[in-house]
Structure 1
Amino acid sequence: MGFNVSLSGINAANSDLSVTANNVANVNTVGFKQSRSEFADLFSATSYGLSRNQVGSGVRVSQVAQQFIQGNNEQTGRGLDLAISGEGFFTLNMNGQRVYSRAGNFGTDPEGYVTNPQGARLQVFAPSADGTKFDSGRLVDLRLLTTDSPPKQTTNVQVAFTLPANAKPPTVNPFDPADSNSYSQSSGGITVFDSLGVSHTQVSYFVKTANANEWTVHNYVDGQAVGTPTTLTFNGSGALTNPANGKIPLGTFAPGTGAGQLNMTLDITGSTQYGEKFALRNTHQDGYAAGKLNEITVSETGVVYARYSNGDDKALGQVALTNFNNPQGLEQKGNNVWVETFDSGTPRTGAPDSSNLGKIQAGALEHSTVDLTEQLVNMIVAQRNFQANAQMITTQDQITQTVINIR
């Protein structure tokens, strides 16, 4: 009986050494979670009717428990390296099977899909058409766009200015954009875009009238008049009173590039008449030319953006994180991935930084949670346990030999 007890101790110590060796071997594995051996004592019968003086039957490894603690996130500077700060797992599609991982060392395959080194595709919530919302009920493979960003036609031009209150009417009449003596001020050239992304120049010319607090604005695109001259009026405090909504229709303009007609509105809301000098405070228009892909960025909430040279940002999806009631119940499948089991509970998938899910840190990786010093100490302890149980077998062998030799 004593031999079996000591043998169970040797087996338990050997298992402990194996767990420690696996931890040490994975000290540099991205997203690795260290494990520990947990032991339970053995009895040869049930507890019913046992004598309180009964000696146990040894030890066994009750489980090898994974330790799901946060590892250190270290910056790598690589855009597709992702780390989770907090709870949750990346959700991956491996040949149709849903798997989970803490390792965020992602890359792209020949088709542009974002994958881990083994080819499992990163799952994201699909974006809406305008990229402002995400369908939390539909997971798709994240695929990076490699095409150019299409141009957007200008529909709204915003100009905020201050006209001089002491201005005099021009000395030349009628208005002629080629003669600076026929107008008081101009907005300068504002670049606008047609439906093909070709740029055009829009200019507003301001002519002071003989009436107090009254101006006329003439609008041109590429030297061609658009819309009709519009009267601007200001009150005694310098605030714009006409047009009441601050918007001036510019009519249509045929670009002559094969693009569709430009139909724009000039928004001068907030413009004023103060002081003695003209000031152009702000200009903005909502169009842009075609753009080249500059970079892929990921926000803390997991939104993946394609950023283009024309300033356009396109949301490609939102990284889906998954958590479990009992992460220790997950089954390790190697290659830094886990699969759900009955013990882990039902997976709960959601957006980063929501519920109890962590944030995404882009350009970083979560390192292994293995503390090498701790593991070396565990190795020494397990070795001593192995030696002690082996010595116990030697001692029992000597006792047995002595009994056999009794005559």
Structure 2
Amino acid sequence: MTSLYATGANGLRVQQARLDAVANNVANLGTTGFKAARVDMVDMPPQPLEVARAGGAADPVTEIGEGVTIGGISRVFEPGTPRPTGNPLDVAILGPNTFFVLTTPDGQTLYTRDGQFRPDSTGQLVTPAGDRLSPPITLPPGASVTEVTPEGRILATLPGEVNPVEVGRITLARFANPQGLAAAGQNRFAATVASGPPQVGTPGADGFPALQSGALEASTVDLAEQMTTLIEAQRAYTVNARALQTLDEMVGLAIQVRS
């Protein structure tokens, strides 16, 4: 009997997860470098079921499906559209599956597509959350950044100088399986066994994408797609809820008849 309820219950869990993913995606529609998430569904393995009939032998064992379950949460790691900001320290990555490398205040290494960088009180380039670029880049006192080249070279003018000089260089990381990255909050990801170790390289070389200075990457959330998914998930949730209700009514009638 429990298996009869499993299909509807599994369906409710999956559709609720889809609704949660849509809500999170839409909430981050304007978040720089945000990658839309989607819930991947897989079929549950069928379970054997033996049906007995009154006054006779049981029917042969049959296999009853139990619906679907959550196979995982995947993300759309395709690059978003670069949006100009005019700030040379706003940097967009012009290619997929590649990330800026960050070091958190507690020493953890994380990865992000959000290229909003600013110098802190010591001149180190950090994100709005306080994570610093890795390897660390420190601007000389009084330096004014003029450009980040497509190859990641940070050019700045120094006090008393006319021509800009290189004061640091941004490196990027990529993974054999970016879908294996674990969300670490605040638009950041952490490497896992599933993602594989990071491969660090120079923008514009060895297959790494170039950078665009003075621009930030838009999110990959497609509002029309999210609204379509929302409608599908709501309808599927309703169907599963009604199936459970109908089954409950049938079981109730069977109990009354037997009584």
Does residue 1:364 correspond to 2:218, yes or no? no
Percent identical: 34
- The 1:294–1:344 alpha-carbon spacing in structure 2 relative to 1, beyond 3 Å, is closer
Query: 84, 97, 104: which is aligned to 2:93?
Result: 84
Structure 1 stretches (4+) deviating beyond 6 angstroms? Answer: none
Q: Residue 300 of structure 1: SS of its match in structure 2? A: coil
Change (3 A) 1:52 1:322: farther
- Equivalent residue number for residue 34 of structure 1: 36
Tell me, in whole angstroms, the C-alpha distance in 2 between the residues paired with 1:362 and 1:311: 20
Structure 1 CA distance for aligned equivalents of residues 153 and 183 of structure 2: 28
Query: What residue number does 2:66 align with?
Result: 57
Residue 387 in structure 1 maps to residue 238 in structure 2: yes
Letter in 2 for 1:367: A
Residue 224 of structure 2 is aligned to residue 373 of structure 1? yes
In the alignment, which residue of structure 1 is the partner of 2:109?
98
Following superposition, the deviation at residue 398 of structure 1 comes to 2.1
Q: Contact 2:104 / 2:132 at 8 angstroms: preserved in 1?
A: yes
- How many Å apart are 1:44 and its aligned residue? 5.2
Using a 3 Å threshold, how does the CA distance of structure 1 residues 41 and 74 change in structure 2: closer, same or farther?
same
Q: Residue by residue, what CA displacement relative to the aligned partner does 1:93-120 show, whole Å, maximum 9, x if unpaired?
A: 2132221110011112111111001111
**In structure 1, distance between residues paired with 2:217 and 2:150:** 15
Task: Name the CA distance, whole Å, in 2 between partners of 1:90 and 1:396.
Answer: 52
Match of 1:296 in 2: 146
Match of 1:145 among 133, 140, 146: 140
Length-normalised TM-score, structure 2? 0.88
Q: Are the equivalent residues in 1 in contact too, given 2:47–2:65 (CA < 8 A)? A: no
2:63 is paired with a residue of what secondary structure? coil
Report the Cα offset of residue 397 of structure 1.
1.8
Match for residue 4 of structure 1 among 3, 6, 30: 6
What residue is the counterpart of 2:45 in the other structure?
43
Cα deviation, 1:30-50, whole Å, max 9, x if unaligned, reads 11000111111112559xxxx
Matched-pair contact (CA < 8 Å) for 1:145–1:306: no
Judge conservation of contact 2:110–2:189 (CA < 8 Å) in 1.
yes
**1:52–1:21 CA distance, 2 compared to 1 (3 A):** farther
Pairwise CA RMSD: 1.9
Query: Is 1:401 the equivalent of 2:256?
Result: no
Aligned equivalent of 1:73: 82
CA distance in 2 between counterparts of 1:341 and 1:76 reads: 33
Equivalent pair of 1:105/1:365 in contact (CA under 8 Å): yes
Q: Is the 8 A contact 1:297 1:307 kept in 2?
A: no
Q: Is the 8 A contact 2:147 2:213 kept in 1?
A: yes
Q: Which amino acid aligns with 2:141?
A: T
Q: TM-score, normalised by structure 1?
A: 0.57
Contact 2:47 2:64 (C-alpha < 8 Å) held by counterparts: no
What code does the residue aligned with 1:356 have? G
Aligned length in residues: 242
Query: Which residue of structure 1 lines up, in the alignment, with residue 52 of structure 2?
Result: none
Distance in 2 of aligned mates of 1:371 and 1:20? 10
Deviation at 1:328, TM superposition (A): 0.7
Please tell me the residue identity of whatever aligns with 1:54: E
Gaps of 5+ in 2: 49-59
How far, CA to CA, are the matches of 1:83 and 1:52 in structure 2? 59
Cα deviation code 1:234-268 (max 9, x no counterpart): xxxxxxxxxxxxxxxxxxxxxxxxxxxxxxxxxxx
**Distance in 2 of aligned mates of 1:98 and 1:340:** 8
Q: Can you give the 5+ residue segments of structure 1 that lack an aligned partner in the other structure?
A: 124-138, 148-292
Give the whole-Å Cα distance in 2 for the aligned partners of 1:314 and 1:26: 37
Residue of 13, 16, 26 corresponding to 1:14: 16
Decide whether aligned partners of structure 1 residues 315 and 383 sit closer, same or farther in structure 2, where only a CA change above 3 A counts. Answer: same
Post-superposition offset of 1:11? 1.1
